[in-house]
Amino acid sequence: MHHQNLTKGLQRAELARRTGANLETVRYYEKVGLLPPPPRTASGYRSYDGAHERRLSFVLRARELGFSLEEVRALLRLVDERDQPCAEASRVAATHLADIRAKITDLKRMEGVLKTVVAQCGDGTRSDCPLIETLFREKAF
Amino acid sequence: MHHQNLTKGLQRAELARRTGANLETVRYYEKVGLLPPPPRTASGYRSYDGAHERRLSFVLRARELGFSLEEVRALLRLVDERDQPCAEASRVAATHLADIRAKITDLKRMEGVLKTVVAQCGDGTRSDCPLIETLFREKAF
DNA sequence: GCTGGGGTCTGTAGCGCCTACAGGGTCAAG
DNA sequence: CTTGACCCTGTAGGCGCTACAGACCCCAGC
């Protein structure tokens, strides 16, 4: 079924499979400059190597930590261009950490309100629905 | 500067101002069926009333609680069509609450990793950056 | 009456981040 | 030689807005 999977070149599906990326995402990341364009075979097929695989894994792990594509680009630039990237990289991470904490705070606010109204709704046999009332009431949260 | 603001009709900007919605969002919600098309003046201007204002506020508060537009549509249908909407409404809310809790869990995972790596990075004078190493390392989280 | 600066109208494009599809080419196995 | 699985490209769609361009309208002041 498959051909050269060691030392030669990976095709797109194989790279996607190895990294866990979606097939189309690989092409998308190339288009937006997160993955360098690989060499092509005579017939135009992309041929990836280990460096591509590592880079794509880097991007995917950064995405798992919630970094935006722009932040990932910044981190990749630091990896590529700087010899002492830690200060700048940790600044990017600290900013992102603050974003995440703000999101958590916001979600917890929503959770608190919803937990309360769902409890008030109970088995749903009330004629006045606490959820709907809450949404109609002025600035209740 | 302004004209009829009581009992007559609200123009779009006035409705937006009262509810806190963005001007364009009002039109968008009408387009996607969350706000009913208001009557128009002779020259084609939208003319809103108190019912529109209440409905738009409902949508905005539901959005503040993180409901998707599809969920908001469902809640509005319950408000409009059913006399005993509480059971179904609280089911929508409970599902959404579960979504929110899943998001919180996910964000806390990210927060935990980032907190650790940012602490390890310290003042950024290290030559090996813990953040970058983490992103290159296999499945560390 | 005319002008100017606000409002309004419409349709459309853009954002971030993919995901999916159509319509074609290529390649190896049976 | 055909079949089926892969590859290529470009483009559209989805969420939830937000913003703009180009036109029209309305009112106050001169």
For chain A, what is the domain count?
1
Range(s) of the domain holding residue B48: 1-69
Assigned domain for A119 exists: no
On whether residue B129 sits in a domain, the answer given is no
Which of the four pLDDT bands, split at 50, 70 and 90, describes residue B6? very low
CB B118 to CB A94 under 8 A?
A: yes
Mutate to test the interface with B, among A132, A134, A139, A141 (most CBs of B within 10 A): A132
Spatial contact of B97 and A115, defined as CB atoms under 8 Å apart = yes
Per-residue pLDDT, A5: 44
A15's tokens: 């790279």
Is B120 or B8 the better-scoring residue by pLDDT? B120
Say whether residue A90 is in contact with chain B using an 8 A CB cutoff.
yes
Residue type, A28: Y
Q: Which of A89-93, B80-84, B100-104 is the least confident region?
A: B80-84
Taking an 8 Å cut-off on Cβ atoms, the answer to whether B124 and A86 are in contact is yes
Q: What is the reported pLDDT for A4?
A: 43
Instruction: Choose between B41 and A6: higher pLDDT.
Output: B41
pLDDT in tens, A66-83: 999 999 999 999 999 877
Range B10-20 average pLDDT: 95
pLDDT band at B2; cut points 50, 70, 90 = very low
Tens-digit pLDDT profile for residues A3-27? 444 457 899 999 999 999 999 999 9
- Indicate yes or no: strand C within 7 A of the C-beta of A43: yes
Residue A38 sits in a domain of what CATH number? 1.10.1660.10
Query: Which residues, in sequence order, are CB contacts of B102 under 8 Å at separation 6+?
Result: none
pTM, two decimals, is 0.90
3-state per-residue secondary structure call for chain B: CCCCCCCCCECHHHHHHHHCCCHHHHHHHHHCCCCCCCCECCCCCECECHHHHHHHHHHHHHHHCCCCHHHHHHHHHHHHHCCCCHHHHHHHHHHHHHHHHHHHHHHHHHHHHHHHHHHHHCCCCCCCCHHHHHHHCCCCC
